[in-house]
Chain A
Amino acid sequence: MENNIRIETPVTDEEIRKLKAGDNVLITGVIYTARDAAHKRLIELINRGEKLPIDPKGQIIYYVGPAPAKPGYVVGPAGPTTSYRMDSYTPPLLELGLKGMIGKGLRSKEVINAMKEHGAVYFGAVGGAAALISKSIKKAEVVCYEDLGAEAIHRFYVEDFPAIVVIDSYGNNLYESEPPKYRIQ
């Protein structure tokens, strides 16, 4: 992982537009967690025209439901969950200025189109590298939806969180461009 690009949250449009699929990124700053159940609640609020518990503008959402923290640990193991389950909830958040998502696995056309339109990036973290990733999380607190347990929205303060730009804001997609290079017919 040479040539790391460092970014700090909140991120600007300009910074996001500079990132290209394949870039290795180290993220520092506040990021928010949300999975299926939390997304569902956020979208219900948006649909009712109510205020959200977090302002997505310039922010990055990490799709994760951490394991409980052992005593002496800030957070438990916290690797990415599969992103497609959040696809139907994602475009309205991008419309509100969400700039990045961290997860694993494929995204829908609708999500990618909304990312291009509003300028956002999809980062991949390594699925199953939860213990390693948790080392870059320096602070963790629940923001809301505590009743959802691991699925509550958390605010993480991260330092040099390792991620790779899988889909950039122009729609370039590593899941499409990389495997063919290694395919044997």
Chain B
Amino acid sequence: MREVNAKVIQQTVKELFLEANYVIGKDILDKLRQQYETEESPIGKSVLNQIIKNDEIAAEEKIALCQDTGMAVVFIELGQEVAVVGGDFNDAINQGVKQAYTKGYLRKSVVNDPLFDRVNTKYNIPAITHITIVPGDKITINVTAKGFGSENMSRIKMLKPADGIQGVKDFIVKTAVEAGPNPCPPIILGVGIGGTMEMAAILAKKATTRSVGEHNSDVRYARLEDEILNEINKSGIGPAGLGGRTTALSVNIEYFPTHIAGLPVAVNICCHAARHAQRVI
């Protein structure tokens, strides 16, 4: 067994959330710049210009690129030959989040109870953690700071197998178009197809953390990603919803085996401020 100290996990989680909140991925920034060149709408162009400038300022000054620094979501791939020592694993994650949000001047946006109290927990915890056990002796930590302007426009639907490819396409495009200006377009769509209801949603969230420009390794899904992206960009919604060709930057689909009677589809919308970071320890 390889031993990993909980303190290392805590420190890594902290650093990843700071990095994610300050520095937008190069893949996203490159794509924004490319879209700026081709965007036909003058308002759309000016919006993209503001977003690019914003992301440059945030990275340079080490400040949050968006004030909604999100709810902390942490995907862990835990090698089965790793023993976590020196502390509680879940505590380490939450302490890492707490430190990033308090020491990094990030906004604390979590309330303790969704319905009755709604009192701020003050440290942006608890984090939402998804752990998968994998072979090997490494831990992969993949974090995302999920803003709720876009989270609120996400949808899940249990389609019928008969709805097929067209049904899936229609639902995804409709979700993006109905969201309109609210999720801060240009958006990135994370899509989970298959599994059970919760599995589709988790896949969709994970898919939002994939790099822009990277496709599903299955060519059929990769083609579907392109077709849906094209369809959404025909909507004219554009940057900030003020018209233009750049409504979505990427459609990222992940899939999983499902039941003979089902076709779950989850669409997790993420704004252009798609803040995620990953490290292997």
Count, chain A residues at interface, CB 8 A: 48
Residues of A near B184 (CB, < 8 A) are 104, 127-128
- Chain A proximity mask over B33-65: 1 for CB below 8 Å, otherwise 0: 000000011011011001101110110011111
CB pair A130–B41 under 8 Å, yes or no, is no
Which of A12-20, A79-87, A89-97, A112-120 forms part of the interface with chain B? A79-87
Which of B209-217, B237-245, B260-268 forms part of the interface with chain A? B237-245
* A1 CA / B62 CA spacing, docked (Å): 26
Q: Which residue of the partner chain, among B61, B105, B241, B273, contacts A179 with CB atoms under 8 Å?
A: B241
Residues of B near A127 (CB, < 8 A) are 66, 149, 184, 240, 271
Residues of B near A150 (CB, < 8 A) are 67, 107-109
* A164 CA / B50 CA spacing, docked (Å): 12
CB pair B57–A179 under 8 Å, yes or no, is no
Shortest A20–chain B CB gap in Å is: 14
Count, chain B residues at interface, CB 8 A: 48
* A106 CA / B107 CA spacing, docked (Å): 24
CB pair A104–B149 under 8 Å, yes or no, is yes
- Chain A proximity mask over B164-194: 1 for CB below 8 Å, otherwise 0: 0000000000000000111010000000000
Tell whether B16 is near chain A: CB-to-CB under 8 Å. no
Identity of the chain B residue whose Cβ is nearest the Cβ of A180 in the assembled complex = B236
Tell whether B132 is near chain A: CB-to-CB under 8 Å. no
- Chain B proximity mask over A161-185: 1 for CB below 8 Å, otherwise 0: 0101010000000110111111111
Residues of B near A162 (CB, < 8 A) are 50
